Amino acid sequence: MTVLEAESTLTARYQTTIPDAVRKVLGLHKHDRVVYRVSDSGEVHLARAGAAGAEDPALAPFLALLDARMMQTPASILPYTNADAADDLALVKGVVLE
């Protein structure tokens, strides 16, 4: 369902102005960042970067793969134990985050 449709012109430097109505719907202000998502069908979706609902495009396919794997082989689902945690902590021992 289309809520709003607006048009803008591409300049000689490949720049465009986001129409006022679109800025209002997305809650955009000066210096806000936007994200463009291009589907395999060629549709482009524009959203405010970091906006609620913005997802990593790899997340849904990964979760679907994980779900299918769990349904096919439920016995492969194992609890995460204290020993697993100790092994994982050993992997990052001495790593300093800046």
Query: Residue 86 in contact with residue 93, Cβ under 8 Å?
Result: no
- Identify each DSSP E strand in the chain by its residue range: 34-38, 44-48
What global pTM score does this model have?
A: 0.47
pLDDT digits (tens, 9 = 90+) for 11-67: 999 999 999 999 998 989 988 889 999 988 998 989 888 755 556 778 888 888 988
Task: State the CB neighbour count (10 A cutoff) for residue 98.
Answer: 2
Give the position of tokens 């048009």. Answer: 7
> Both tokens of residue 98?
């800046």
Distance CA 98, CA 83 (A): 28
Fold of 1-74: Pemi-like Protein 1; Chain: D (2.10.260)
